[in-house]
A and B are shown apart, each in its own frame.
Chain A
Amino acid sequence: MTNRIWVFMTYGSIVGIPAMASLFVLAHYLFPGIAYVFEALLALALITNFITGMREIYIVSKPIPDKLVVEPVSHVPAEATQRGQGKAVNIVISRFNPDRGIIEKKEYSVAADKYTSVLSALIKVKNYQDNTLSIRYSCGMGICGSCGMNVNGRPSLACETNLLKSAENGKVEVSPMLAHPVMKDLVTNFDDFFEKHKAVSPHIYKEDAGEKYGHGGISRQSREDLVKFLPFSYCIMCGLCLDACPVENTNPNFAGPQALSQVYRYAEDSRDGKGEKRIEMVNSKDGIWGCEFAGACSEVCPKGVDPASAIQLLKAKKIGQMLDPNYCQGEKSGADGI
Chain B
Amino acid sequence: MAEEYLDIRGRRRNLLRLARINLTSFLHLFFYRIVILFSIIAAAIIIASMVSGGQFLDILAYASIAIVWLLVTPQLFGTFKVLPIVLTNGEAMGRLNSSFLKFKESVMPTSPAYKSILAAFPYMAIIVWIALLALLLAMLAVAL
Tell me the A residues contacting B by CB distance below 8 Å.
14-15, 17-18, 21-22, 24-26, 28-29, 36, 39-40, 42-44, 46-47, 49-50, 53-54, 56-57, 59-62, 64-65, 68, 96, 98-99, 101, 103, 152-155, 178-183, 189, 191, 223-224, 226-228, 230-231, 234, 244, 246, 248-252, 292-296, 298-301, 303-306, 308-310, 312-313, 315-316
B139 touches A50 (CB 8 A): no
| A248→B22 CA distance, assembly (Å) | 16
| A249→B97 CA distance, assembly (Å) | 25
Residues of chain B within 8 A (CB-CB) of A303 are 97
| A303→B32 CA distance, assembly (Å) | 29
Residues of chain A within 8 A (CB-CB) of B35 are 17, 49, 53
A179 touches B9 (CB 8 A): yes
A15-B79, A68-B8 known, 17 other contacts, Cβ within 8 Å: A39-B61, A46-B40, A61-B10, A98-B6, A153-B21, A178-B9, A227-B108, A246-B14, A249-B9, A250-B10, A252-B10, A294-B22, A295-B22, A295-B28, A299-B21, A304-B96, A312-B86
Residues of chain A within 8 A (CB-CB) of B8 are 62, 64-65, 68, 178
Query: Do A47 and B39 form a contact, CB below 8 Å, given A181-B5, A227-B103, A316-B82?
Result: yes
B10 touches A25 (CB 8 A): no
B22 touches A304 (CB 8 A): no
Query: Do A46 and B100 form a contact, CB below 8 Å, given A250-B15, A292-B29, A293-B78?
Result: no
A–B Cβ pairs within 8 angstroms, 22 of them: A17-B68, A47-B43, A53-B33, A53-B39, A57-B12, A61-B10, A98-B6, A99-B4, A101-B4, A153-B17, A230-B100, A234-B100, A244-B22, A249-B14, A295-B22, A296-B18, A300-B22, A304-B99, A308-B94, A309-B90, A313-B86, A313-B90
CB closest residue in chain B, given A100: B4
Residues of chain A within 8 A (CB-CB) of B135 are 25-26, 28-29
B12 touches A299 (CB 8 A): no
B95 touches A296 (CB 8 A): no
| A313→B86 CA distance, assembly (Å) | 6
What's the nearest-Cβ distance from chain A to residue B23, in Å?
A: 10
Residues of chain A within 8 A (CB-CB) of B104 are 227, 230
B10 touches A251 (CB 8 A): yes
**CB interface residues, B 115-144, toward A, < 8 Å:** 129, 132, 135-136, 139
Q: Which residue of the partner chain, among A14, A22, A47, A56, contacts B132 with CB atoms under 8 Å?
A: A22
A14 touches B75 (CB 8 A): yes
| A252→B9 CA distance, assembly (Å) | 6
Tally A-B pairs: CB < 8 A.
230
Residues of chain B within 8 A (CB-CB) of A230 are 100, 103-104
A244 touches B47 (CB 8 A): no
Cβ of B24 < 8 Å from any Cβ of A? Answer: yes
Residues of chain B within 8 A (CB-CB) of A191 are 1
CB closest residue in chain A, given B43: A46
- The interface bits of chain B over 16-59 (1 if a CB of A lies within 8 angstroms of the residue's CB, else 0) are 01101110111011001101110110110011001000000000
| A272→B139 CA distance, assembly (Å) | 56
A296 touches B21 (CB 8 A): yes
A155 touches B65 (CB 8 A): no
A46 touches B46 (CB 8 A): yes
A249 touches B72 (CB 8 A): no
